[in-house]
Amino acid sequence: MIPKVTVDKIIETARVEEVLGDFITFKKRGVNLLGLCPFHGEKTPSFTVSPVKGIYKCFGCGKAGNSVNFIMEHLQLTYPEALKWLANKYGIEVIEREITPEEKEKQTERESMLIVMQYAQRYFTEIMTTTDEGKSVGLGYFKQRELSDAIIQKFQLGYSLEERNAFTQAAVKAGYQPKYLAKTGMSILSNKYIEGAEVKVTDVFDRYAGRVMFPIQDDGGRVVAFGGRTLTNDKKIAKYINSPETDIYNKSKILYGLWLGKKTIQQNDACYLVEGYMDVIAMHQAGIENVVASSGTSLTIEQIKAIHRFTKNIIVLYDGDEAGQKASNRAIPLLLEEGMNVRLLFFPNNDDPDSFSRKVTNQEFKDYIANNTQDFLYFKAKKLNSETKNNPIKKATVIKDIVDSIALIHDNIIRSIYVKECSSIMDLEESILQQEVNKIRRKTIKKGITLSGVEGTEETQNTITPFEVEENVKIKETEVLNFDAEEKELLRLLLAFGNALVTIEAENEELEKYDVEITLGEYIFFELMRDDIKFENPMYVQIYDEYVNELSNQRLPNLNYFSNHHNPLISSFVINYVHSNYELSKKWKLHGVIIPEEIQLLKKLTQTTLFSYKARKLTQIINESQQLLKTAHNNEDEIILKQIQHFNALKGRVNKLLGRVVIK
């Protein structure tokens, strides 16, 4: 358990703009920051960060929270894990009490799997640097590829022994359960294993025996998978084996090298996309760090979105052979569909970034990349045009290919520039090319699919509402009975102004009336307690009960207490509905118009909400009583009728206080 003083220090230190800036590229928008949301696919930024309030809010999907919530949500961590992650980032020491064996057994499956992966990385690195086989085979391979010790250490490279059970036996001996070795994909279940039975060490064996190991990290720096390369020339053996899909590894979302390169991607506002692990490593050794690879899979929409959060400028550096060009042709439509600016670079003589980097100096490598990248469409148009000069039919096919690519571009201005330039290159009238582009866009949008063929709808270019007008944004919630509005408003008043003092009328034992000053929080508590009213919404119940508990312990919880709550649902609710949403323009005062601030109307606002809430509660009781009346026996109906009359009278008085006229 992390002590409260340490938790407070972590929350105070972890500024929301710094923490989220490691995962998203932001642009200034007034006092706030704006970027692309990491929680849902979007091409128009709607994710807003308020450094002053220490919170974030996405006006597209409704996600909201603080720096701890973000790390929990984005990296799929528990509250304690997120605090430790932030503590590690800021160098804050976390001293916890030793957990008992029973508590250790209760650790979540996900936590256990991540711990296994951490151990595996350390194990493979140690094997490569301390054993004879590791040094001669594994380290020898990387040295043959001319990798420096610093780069080997930077990428945490390692080696798995040829012995079929070496890793599995070592992990079990170190205390890691066989079932988690199997769940992470580090070990494979043998044919002897009976489904549903407890996994034993004899049931599992190593997946990566005799391979050099490339740890794959998520963008929070945690090892979630591995790539293993065989060093044999046997063509029957797969050259690379990658981790299977697990609860901690979704290969379609992870980019190799993003964790190490995202800062440079932000700084340079550009990202190089390559094919393999060694391509990423070679470019880092050449001094180019803004580079990622798609972890041994074809590029996916999710991976492109991950890059787009940091930059919209991407340079595709695929191999110069036919396979490389095919991979490039598959990736480009997806990149364009996601609104990326795409440039290409092909290496000579079928080289890839890794092989080419070993033929030239680091400076020559950088110069080649700087001088040979070119816009993908200009490259494509020139290349295809030169190949089809004397073949009208083939040229028509090429033009269709060019038109399909241009139609993928969302930005109207950029699309029109491409039409103009490509019509010149292809020696074709601009109007004809534009007409064909428009035809494709109309056709695909009408069908309700994205232009690259992926199911979806054309995204509209909406104006994003900033924090200052957040009240206009409606977030869908499950409505609980008919009390949601009043309960939500009471909690908003309680959390935002609970410590404010209000004057209420009280009576002493002689029924003499006098004024007393109490906090708004105490006033709401006494009013609800007096009429034995309880919230209906389970989440609101939890927030209210915690507030009352703090009051009973002589503490007045402030807004920050709940904004930084360990339960992300509570902190998200507070940020969405309680934080001040707007400020009145100062221009009103210049014109002599004085508008009272909300705090000046607290008592009236609270009373109105309480009376409205009580009126709804009375309506519910009356309705329930009327239902009981239908099935009443003997003289029960008379008792129920009196109760209904009593509650109707109470409701009439409440409505009178609210200024409502009830017409029967």
**pLDDT (tens digit, 9 = 90+) per residue, 349-381?**
778 889 898 899 989 999 998 898 888 887 777
What are the residue ranges of CATH 3.40.1360.10 in the chain? Answer: 258-446
Letter for the amino acid at 434? Q
**Structure confidence at residue 467 (pLDDT):** 36
For residue 35, the SS3 value is strand
What are the residue ranges of CATH 3.90.580.10 in the chain? Answer: 4-90
Better-predicted residue by pLDDT, 290 or 663: 290
Q: Which two tokens stand for residue 462?
A: 């909406």
How far is 127 from 210, CA to CA, in rounded Å? 12
**Structure confidence at residue 440 (pLDDT):** 82
> Which residue(s) pair with 506 in the sheet?
514
- Asked if 210 and 225 count as a contact pair (C-beta separation under 8 A), the reply is no
Tell me yes or no: is domain 108-242 CATH 3.90.980.10: yes
**Structure confidence at residue 324 (pLDDT):** 67
| Residue 383 scores a pLDDT above 90 | no
Q: Which two tokens stand for residue 413?
A: 């201005």
Confidence of residue 475 (pLDDT cuts 50, 70, 90): very low
Residues 6+ apart with CB under 8 A from 431: none
Pairing of strands 291-293, 271-274: parallel
**Structure confidence at residue 584 (pLDDT):** 41
Q: What is the pLDDT of residues 226-272, one digit of tens each?
A: 999 999 888 888 899 999 999 899 988 899 999 999 889 988 999 99
Q: What is the mean pLDDT of the chain?
A: 79
What are the residue ranges of CATH 3.90.980.10 in the chain? Answer: 108-242
Confidence of residue 187 (pLDDT cuts 50, 70, 90): very high
Tell me yes or no: is domain 4-90 CATH 3.50.50.60: no
Confidence of residue 156 (pLDDT cuts 50, 70, 90): very high
Residues 6+ apart with CB under 8 A from 555: none
Q: Please name the CATH architecture into which domain 258-446 falls.
A: 3-Layer(aba) Sandwich (3.40)
Q: Which two tokens stand for residue 92?
A: 């804050």
How far is 270 from 279, CA to CA, in rounded Å? 17
pTM, two decimal places:
0.64
For residue 32, the SS3 value is strand
Q: Which two tokens stand for residue 204?
A: 């599992």
Distance of CA 129 to the CA centre of its chain: 37
* Alpha helix stretches (DSSP H) within 53-161: 67-75, 79-90, 101-105, 109-130, 132-133, 140-144, 149-154
Please state the rounded mean pLDDT for residues 133-159.
95
Pairing of strands 313-316, 271-274: parallel
- Asked if 158 and 211 count as a contact pair (C-beta separation under 8 A), the reply is no
Helix (H) or strand (E) holding 404: helix 392-407
| Residue 586 scores a pLDDT above 70 | no
Percentage of residues of the chain with pLDDT beyond 70: 79
